């Protein structure tokens, strides 16, 4: 064991970002060490990962699933904890340096919240946390000396582009979007989209929830809200541009009119490693930009008619308060309904708008109120579906 290694907790170790993170850790040459891993349902996989990475702690966050699991194969030095309390305890361990938060959806909030409360650095892959509770989470980080380093590729790009520049010179953030699998589909075609169509992402390999979000472009809507909180910038200074190659991860424009871009292959290991190595840069596993062959980049404005999620995201970023929690929960629930083939693709965004408009908006909610509204919005989506 290397005493200098950064001690990393991976919340959501069995998912797509979690797996990439463990590859980054394994390839870090001892600069990073996985000391804690968590999983919700894939507990056989969690045991396998514990045998591979010998963490000090693992957490099975669903206590019922944990009881059913056979833990005999767990390495002797690995301690098992369970439930939300297990997650809170894990991220607060004094030896932990960085918490990589990759639990999908609003379930990711608990671990991120506890880590920031303990003053840790959070490498945040879970955008839902900021969408749901951006003002509270950023305030919490400031109060306890914690820090959020983005893992989302666009936000990592912006974060990198702002390093060494003065925040007050920032004029505009330009988020790039691949456009998803339906970029060139007509509205009539999109109305007929199946689960299989929506899961066929052209450039990024990701979990099912974010892949569907990418097809509706709700992912970009959520990223507008994420950027609003992460960089403390009003919604009207955030723009979206379609860039099908997914090589330019985002751009920032400064007040003198100079625009900077960050480029790299569409590989999550790059922003993950930067979040874990920050403020340093290390040798990385990512492919290099190949300029020995012709390379063309396209940029075009998004079509707001075919992708109404974008306008919805903007409205929610402008509203703040309870709007983000309601949109986030409504979308999670609607995507789950779509994946179960109980909701049509174009109804995902329609249902989200309806639920958002129905809710009792509050400008300055508590965390408890946001969690209540999260539960409420999920139920509303289910009844909307039955009409």
Interface positions with Mg ion (CB under 5 A): 152-154
- 152 vs 253, beta carbon nearer Mg ion: 152
In the complex, least distance from residue 323 CB atom to Mg ion, rounded to whole angstroms? 21
Rounded CA separation 111/97 (Å): 14
* Residue 196 beta carbon to Mg ion: minimum distance, rounded to whole angstroms: 22
Least Å from the CB of residue 202 to Mg ion: 14
Residues 188, 193: Cα–Cα separation, whole Å = 9
Q: Could you tell me the maximum CA-CA distance found in the chain, to the nearest angstrom?
A: 62
Look up residue 300 and give its DSSP letter. B
- The answer to whether 175 and 195 are in contact (CB under 8 A) is no
Q: Give me the residue label for tokens 């490693």.
A: 273
Quote the least distance from Cβ 175 to Mg ion, whole Å: 8
User: Which of 7/250 has CB closer to Mg ion?
Assistant: 250
Nearer to Mg ion, 40 or 201 (CB): 201
Angle at 208 between CA 27 and CA 148, to 5 degrees: 55
* Closer residue to Mg ion in complex, CB, 81/227: 227
**What span, in angstroms and rounded, lies between the C-alpha atoms of 369 and 384?**
22
E strand spans, the chain: 6-11, 32-39, 57-60, 79-82, 98-101, 121-124, 147-150, 170-177, 238-242, 248-254, 259-263
SS3 350: helix
Q: Which is nearer to Mg ion, 60 or 174 (CB)?
A: 174
Give the CA distances from residue 211 to residues 82, 173, 230, 282, in Å, rounded to whole numbers and listed in that order.
29, 23, 22, 29
Cβ nearer to Mg ion, comparing 222 with 343: 222
- Give the residue with the Cβ less far from Mg ion, 152 or 315: 152
* CB 310, min distance to Mg ion, A: 14
H or E element in which residue 45 lies: helix 43-53
The residue number with the shortest CB distance to Mg ion is 152
Q: Which is nearer to Mg ion, 80 or 199 (CB)?
A: 199
In whole angstroms, the minimum distance from the beta carbon of 152 to Mg ion comes to 4
- Minimum gap (Å) between residue 156 Cβ and Mg ion: 9
Shortest CB 44 distance to Mg ion, Å: 29
Measuring CA to CA, how many Å separate 104 from each of 110, 129, 137, 207?
12, 9, 17, 9
Q: Which is nearer to Mg ion, 121 or 214 (CB)?
A: 214
Spatial separation of the C-alpha atoms in residues 223 and 354, rounded to whole Å = 21
Smallest separation, CB 328 to Mg ion (Å): 15
From the CB of 219, what's the least distance to Mg ion, in Å?
Answer: 6
> Which residue's CB is nearer to Mg ion, number 14 or number 246?
246
Residue 283 CA to residue 210 CA, distance in Å, equals: 28
Residue 365 and residue 387 in contact, taking contact as beta carbons nearer than 8 Å: no
Strands 79-82 and 170-177: unpaired
Compute φ and ψ for 147, nearest 5 degrees: -145, 140
């Amino acid at each position: 064991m290397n005493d200098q290694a950064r001690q990393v907790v991976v919340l959501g170790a069995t998912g797509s970002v979690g797996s990439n993170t463990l590859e980054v850790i394994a390839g870090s040459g001892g600069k990073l060490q996985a000391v804690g891993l968590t999983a919700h349902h894939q507990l056989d996989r969690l045991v396998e990962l514990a045998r591979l990475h010998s963490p000090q702690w693992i957490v099975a966050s669903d206590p019922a699933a944990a009881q059913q699991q056979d833990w005999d194969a767990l390495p002797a030095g690995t301690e098992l904890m369970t439930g939300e309390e297990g997650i809170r305890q894990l991220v607060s361990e004094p030896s932990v340096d960085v918490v990589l938060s990759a639990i999908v959806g609003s379930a990711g909030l608990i671990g991120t919240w506890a880590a920031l409360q303990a003053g840790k650095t959070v490498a945040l892959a879970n955008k839902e946390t900021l969408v749901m509770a951006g003002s509270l989470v950023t305030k919490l980080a400031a109060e306890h000396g914690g820090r959020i380093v983005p893992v989302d590729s666009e936000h990592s790009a912006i974060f990198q582009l702002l390093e060494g520049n003065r925040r007050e010179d920032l004029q505009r953030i330009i988020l790039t979007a691949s456009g998803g699998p339906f970029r060139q589909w007509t509205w009539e075609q999109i109305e007929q989209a199946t689960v299989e169509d929506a899961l066929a992402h052209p450039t990024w390999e990701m979990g099912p929830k974010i892949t569907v979000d990418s097809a509706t472009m709700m992912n970009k809507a959520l990223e507008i809200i994420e950027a609003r909180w992460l960089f403390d910038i009003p919604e009207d200074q955030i723009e979206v541009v379609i860039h099908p190659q997914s090589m330019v991860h985002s751009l920032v424009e400064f007040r003198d009119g100079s625009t900077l871009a960050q480029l790299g292959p569409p590989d999550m290991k790059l922003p993950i490693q930067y979040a874990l190595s920050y403020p340093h840069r290390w040798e990385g596993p990512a492919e290099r930009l190949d300029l020995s062959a012709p390379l063309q980049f396209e940029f075009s404005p998004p079509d707001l008619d075919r992708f109404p999620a974008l306008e919805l995201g903007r409205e929610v970023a402008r509203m703040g308060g309870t709007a983000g929690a309601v949109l986030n929960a409504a979308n999670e629930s609607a995507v789950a309904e779509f994946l179960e083939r109980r909701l049509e693709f174009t109804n995902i965004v329609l249902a989200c708008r309806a639920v958002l408009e129905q809710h009792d908006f509050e400008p300055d909610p508590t965390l408890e109120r946001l969690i209540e509204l999260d539960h409420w919005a999920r139920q509303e989506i289910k009844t909307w579906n039955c009409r």
